[in-house]
Structure formats: structure tokens, C-alpha cells
Amino acid sequence: MTELTVNAGGTRALMDFAVAKGASRKALAERSGIDPAELQDQDGRIPFAKYVALMRAGQELCQDPALALHYGEAVEMAEISIVGLLGGASESMADGFALLNRYARLMIDVDTAGSGDRFVLERRPAGPAIQVWMVDTRRNPNDFPELTESAFARMVCTSRRYLGHAQFASAVHFTHRAPAYRAEYDRIFRVPVVFESDRNALVTDDAWMTRRTETTPGSRHVAGILGAHADELLERLDRSKSTRGRVESLLISILPTGNANMLMIATSLGLSRKTLFRRLKIEGVTFEKVLDELRHTMAVHYLREKKISVNETAYLVGFSDPAAFSRAFKRWTGQSPRAIASKKRGGGAGNQGL
């Protein structure tokens, strides 16, 4: 099973929140197994198990069992992920919901049921109106109900900040039992809260989904830029979950040794050579094909973007013989590596006056 992960930005925000409430950053790091250096890259990934350990450590050190609720109440989505920034540029709540579903895995990558979407909409008649149930499809939610608490509190409190006194949610349902801090649910949500329900869901009116939201001039342009970056992050996350992506991540660091081989990579992944072969075959590739295509990609990158010499590039992608590298490069591109390198240098010189 692929390891589930959380974005570093959200993990750092949780740690900062717990510290602001009195917890020791050092103690939080030690108990969760998270090196603070891992949290410097907003888009980096942290194992989900470490995030759970961080939340539990924060509850104990802050002496606040409702820490997840308070975290969702206080910290907006835009502070923890690019997903929040995209949502803020949406023209309607329905658009924002669609974006949330598309990019939810960038925040927290969890097991889901059915279609694979973290949230699904269920429309139900309620007298003359139509209720919309925004259902969280996360599997085994009661193993870590804090994730549901923080997600729903964040949605409700963020919408309240933007809508003033208007109430987005008309009810909230949770599959777990009412905790000892039940009163905090009532204070934060301000609507009927149902525990031990058959689903985790926010209930709203269908009219909210088509309501137009206020956007600032240029927000559509900004959303386009953010969306392109989010798509790139999503692709990177998908690669890290595939066997090919995991193999490539290991290969990049050992290519210069010239010793990249299937047994070494299989051992690093905790697999047998046979199992790795089978998993790559399911994805339609062989180890040799992954290695060859990675060398091709990295060689072009080094020559065109990094302006590295041909001989050094040959070494970096695992060739001890520059002549063998040149033959491989011509097979990949139809050109010699020196031709690619000289084109790059010529283009750079011609742009000096710009």
C-alpha cells in the first residue's frame, strides 16, 4: 500500500499553532518524529502517520483535546496550501468545491471510497428546498476524527469570515461519538451537530452552491498561474505514488555512480527483484526503459538548462565513456550532445543585450 502523506505547509501550520498555544517545538518534533527542516518547503510531503502523531502530541502538550477544532477555526486554508488560494479566486461556491476536490490531495492524501474524490455532493429534497450534503468519503474516519474536525471547522469558519452573519452550513454530521468537549462543537459550528451519524457531512442549501463570490480584479489571471502550479504539484505527487516515480527518485541520486541496477533499487524499496519487475510491468515499463528514459531527460536538462559540459553530463547520467554517452544521446534525440550544448550557448550569447 502506498504511504499516505500530508503537505509540509499544513504540518508546519499545525506545529506553529500548537507552539502558540504553549507547546514546546522541540517536544513536538521529537514526539512526532518530524525534523523541522522537513517543513521548510511549503509543498514538501510528510508521512500521514507523523501528522497524526503531531496532532496527538499537540493535544497533550497544549492540554487541549479540542486542538483540531481550534486549529480549523483559527487557521484558514490559504495559510496552509495553494488550494486555499485557488478557492479564494473561485467565482462561485460550486467552482470552489470543484477545485477543492481536484486538489484536495495536495493538502492531505488519504484513502477514499467510491470515485476517489475526498468530498461528494448528495442532493436531497427538504420541503420546497433542496439540501446539499457535502460528504467526506475518507475511509476509517473514526481512526483519526481530528482530521474531520479540523476540515469542517475550517470550511465553516472561513465561509463565516467572508459571508459575515450569513450561515453557510445548516447542520453538521459526524460518525464518531460526542467527545467530552462537545460544547466546543456547538460554539464553533452554531448549527445542529449530529454525532454517530452514518456519514461525515456538512449540510447546506442548494442555493449556496450557485451563489457568486466576490473576486478581485486580476483574480482569474492569478488563478490560472496558481492552477498551473497546482497541476504540476499534483503530477509530482502522482509520480511519487507510482512504482516508476519511486524508482526514478532513487535513480537520480545514484546515476553518477554508474552502478544503478535493478537489484539495488529493489532492495532500497524493500522489494524483491521479481516483485519490482512485476510492478513496473503493470505500469507498462521495464527497469531498463525507466533508466534509459531518465538518463535521456536528465542529459537534456543538464546540457540545455544547466549549461553543463558534455563530459560532465555524461558522468552525471552514469556513463564512464563519453563516446558511449554520445551514441546514446544521438539515439535519444537524433543529435549529438555537443550540438545541443552549442545551440544553448549561442542562444544565450545572442540575448545578452536584452
Asked if residues 294 and 255 have their Cβ atoms less than 8 Å apart, the reply is: yes
The whole-number pLDDT of residue 87 equals: 65
Most distant CA pair in the chain: distance in Å? 78
Say which residue, 280 or 209, is predicted with more confidence.
Answer: 280
The whole-number pLDDT of residue 313 equals: 92
CA–chain centroid gap for 314, Å, is 34
The whole-number pLDDT of residue 1 equals: 43
Q: At CA 68, angle to CA 65 and CA 72, rounded to 5? A: 145
CA–chain centroid gap for 311, Å, is 37
253-350: which CATH topology?
Arc Repressor Mutant, subunit A (1.10.10)
Strand (E) or helix (H) holding 19: helix 8-20
Average pLDDT taken over every residue of the chain: 84
Strands (E), the chain: 5-7, 45-47, 119-126, 129-136, 171-173, 193-194, 200-205
**pLDDT tens digits for 49-91?**
999 999 999 999 999 999 999 999 999 877 887 666 666 666 6
Say which residue, 112 or 258, is predicted with more confidence.
Answer: 258
Domains of the chain, by residue range, sit at: 65-209, 253-350
Is the pLDDT reported for residue 184 higher than 90?
Answer: yes
The whole-number pLDDT of residue 351 equals: 31
**Strand 171-173 to strand 193-194: parallel, antiparallel, or no bridges (unpaired)?**
parallel
Nearest-CA neighbor of 265 among 283, 285, 279, 248?
248
Asked if residues 201 and 173 have their Cβ atoms less than 8 Å apart, the reply is: yes
**pLDDT tens digits for 24-44?**
999 999 999 999 898 988 888
Is the pLDDT reported for residue 347 higher than 50?
Answer: no
Q: Strands of 171-173's sheet, edge to edge?
A: 119-126, 129-136, 200-205, 171-173, 193-194
**pLDDT tens digits for 80-135?**
876 666 666 666 677 777 777 777 777 788 777 665 788 888 988 887 878 899 99
Which of 2-11, 27-36, 85-94, 260-269 shows the lowest per-residue confidence on average (mean pLDDT)? 85-94
Is the pLDDT reported for residue 277 higher than 60?
Answer: yes
**pLDDT tens digits for 283-331?**
899 999 999 999 998 898 888 877 889 999 999 999 989 999 999 999 9
Asked if residues 249 and 256 have their Cβ atoms less than 8 Å apart, the reply is: no
Cell output for 145: 476524527
Asked if residues 275 and 266 have their Cβ atoms less than 8 Å apart, the reply is: yes
Asked if residues 42 and 104 have their Cβ atoms less than 8 Å apart, the reply is: no
Nearest-CA neighbor of 3 among 108, 142, 119?
108
Asked if residues 55 and 35 have their Cβ atoms less than 8 Å apart, the reply is: no
**Residue 201, phi then psi, degrees to nearest 5:** -155, 150
DSSP β-bridge partners for residue 130: 125
Say which residue, 229 or 282, is predicted with more confidence.
Answer: 282
Distance between CA atoms of residues 97 and 151, nearest Å: 13
**Strand 129-136 to strand 119-126: parallel, antiparallel, or no bridges (unpaired)?**
antiparallel
Distance between CA atoms of residues 204 and 101, nearest Å: 17
Distance between CA atoms of residues 38 and 36, nearest Å: 5
The whole-number pLDDT of residue 85 equals: 66
The whole-number pLDDT of residue 206 equals: 81
Nearest-CA neighbor of 170 among 124, 137, 103?
124
Is the pLDDT reported for residue 218 higher than 60?
Answer: no
The whole-number pLDDT of residue 350 equals: 34
Distance between CA atoms of residues 101 and 83, nearest Å: 10
